[in-house]
Amino acid sequence: MADILSNSVSGLLAVQRALTTTGHNVSNANTEGYSRQRVEMSAQMPQFMGNGYIGTGTKVDSITRTFDQFVESQLRDATSDSSRLSFVQDFASQVTGVLGDTETGMTRSTEAFFNAAGDVASNPTDITSRQAFLNQAGALTDRFNRMDEQLAQLNAGLGQQADAITREVNTFAQEVADLNGKISTAFAQNPNALPNDLLDRRDQLIQNIAERINVRVDDDGAGSLNLAVGSGQSLVTANIASELTAINAPSGLEIQIEGRSITNRVTGGDLGGMIEAQNTLIQPLRSELGRTAMVIAQEVNAIQKDGFDLDGFQGEPLFNVGQSDPNAPMMGNVTASPRNGSSVSAKVEISDATLLESGRYVARYDGTDWNLTKEGGSGGTIPVDDVPGMTITFDGITPDSGDTLFIDAGLGAAGRIATEDLSPARVPAAGGVDHDNDSGTALVSAGSRDNANIQQITDLANQAVVGRSADDELDGQTIGGAISSAVSQAGSVARTAELQGESARAALDNLEARKQSVSGVNLDEEAAKLLQYQQQYQALARSISISGDLFQSVLNAVR
């Protein structure tokens, strides 16, 4: 009925809803992920009174949230990228701390070792110099061991963090699935009256997931948001959440959804940063340090065995790299993929450590043969017999098609290198075996002051013996240069992540500001609305009071 009382009552009820919503906005001004809500009103259907239409008041159509889906999608991607770079930068700082500076790092230890060899060369019969040489050899291996152990601990820490993060993601994903169910029910009842606070909570949960792993979001048009990692492995479908797991296998971090590997699709968030840190820092550094340790052991031992000690006896090896017999060949590292169907493995024997290339090889069984490729390389298949510096022998176990082995000669070798227990007199500083001699030996008198052999160890510091090719002995790096390159690589990764991170954070800040400009609660604006609604409420209350007075006047007139 079109009258002042019903019109005022409808307006009063609508203003009450607006006041409640405004108060809700003010209460959640600092709530993370909250989107400002707004009451949408419209005039009610007018009533025809013969000579025209009379208004019948107002009604509340809906309560909507101010929200920009495009900005939210961009913010989600920017969050994943920023989190990845932030993790890599922080982790790189930890790694560079392990590597040390020029005074305390690995380079300093190698220099001290070769300088000690030079001191023996200057005074071959001096026991003190010989003992200092042995001490520096022990300090060098200790430094290799300690550095590899610290890098291995950082790697183990990555696995623990990845496990904790996947459990957080699973918690968030399950809540998203639960909210999908509630929102879909509301959508089925009225697509235009959805629970705004549940929508905000779901978007915030997805944002939390994006901070940890890159996700793609698809709207199914029925109230649910489906989440997938990378190009399509489902994390949440409608009201069902899949389980995300992380395995820190010897071959590297393995991220799985319901047992299926998605590692190659994880390119953002903290998990993406962990995979990148492992692939660009931990594994390459451990491999490079191990390769250098193998070169030192091989080359120094070869020189040692060609020399003679103070008593005229032929020298013995100074180093070993995990062998029970230091004269036995060194062995490379082989790790199996956790997805292998068999227990197949391989043996890698180091034939010449100076020929070993950086990086690791991937051997994959195609059902008939093993195909060997260089990880991250653009080249094709490499014949197994043509791998520089090593001999690969696959064991007799029949592999399943698709089984994969990762071959990295240097990985972990720095943690295995050790010095043999030699006395100072047993340091073979003198002479050198004449291999052209029929007997293959040289006669060196006891107490000889000859320094020819120890001088070769001193000279080794300036020789390009790391990563050389078989047909060019000058295209490699020196031992100190190889270590410096590895350390520089870690610093380069840190610097690149820092620069890219600054750009990513700037983009993220800009998107967050854009979101706030659309969805954020402006307290000044809400205060103005409260004043407006208060005045409107008072006016409507006055209208109701007037309608009561008029009705009372009518009653009085007919008494």
Break the chain into its structural domains and give their ranges. 4-66+520-557, 80-162+275-499
**Stated pTM of the model:** 0.87
CB 430 within 8 A of CB 391: no
pLDDT of residue 539: 87
Q: Is 313 exposed, middle or buried (0-12, 13-18, 19+ CB in 10 A)?
A: middle
CB 248 within 8 A of CB 280: no
Strand partners, 419: 319
Rounded CA gap, 134 and 296, in Å? 14
- The HSE-up count of residue 310 (CA atoms within 13 Å, CB side) is 14
CB 63 within 8 A of CB 40: yes
Could you identify the residue written with the tokens 């957080």?
168
Of residues 226 and 53, the one with the higher pLDDT is 226
pLDDT of residue 440: 46
Helix/strand/coil for 549: helix
Contacts of 134 (CB under 8 A, 6+ apart): 419, 422, 424, 427
Contacts of 553 (CB under 8 A, 6+ apart): none
Of residues 164 and 557, the one with the higher pLDDT is 164
- With bands split at pLDDT 50, 70 and 90, how would you rate the model's confidence at 445? low
Q: What is the DSSP letter of 104?
A: T
Rounded CA gap, 185 and 195, in Å? 10
| pLDDT of 92 over the 50 cut | yes
Tokens of 392: 């690969």
- With bands split at pLDDT 50, 70 and 90, how would you rate the model's confidence at 406? very high
How many other C-beta atoms can be found within 10 angstroms of the C-beta atom of residue 335?
18
| pLDDT of 474 over the 80 cut | no
| pLDDT of 554 over the 90 cut | no
Contacts of 397 (CB under 8 A, 6+ apart): 342, 343, 344, 345
Rounded CA gap, 325 and 331, in Å? 12
> In terms of Cα–Cα distance, which of 285, 272, 286 is closest to 86?
272
H-helix segments, 229-358: 269-277, 283-305
Q: What residue type is 223 in one-letter code? A: G
| pLDDT of 194 over the 80 cut | yes
Could you give the maximum distance between any two Cα atoms of the chain, in Å? 146
Rounded CA gap, 374 and 383, in Å? 11
CA angle centred on 100, ends 303 and 494, rounded to 5° = 115
Q: What is the DSSP letter of 46?
A: P
Query: Which of 208-212, 289-293, 418-422, 487-491 shows the lowest mean pLDDT across its residues?
Result: 487-491
> In terms of Cα–Cα distance, which of 8, 5, 6 is closest to 538?
8
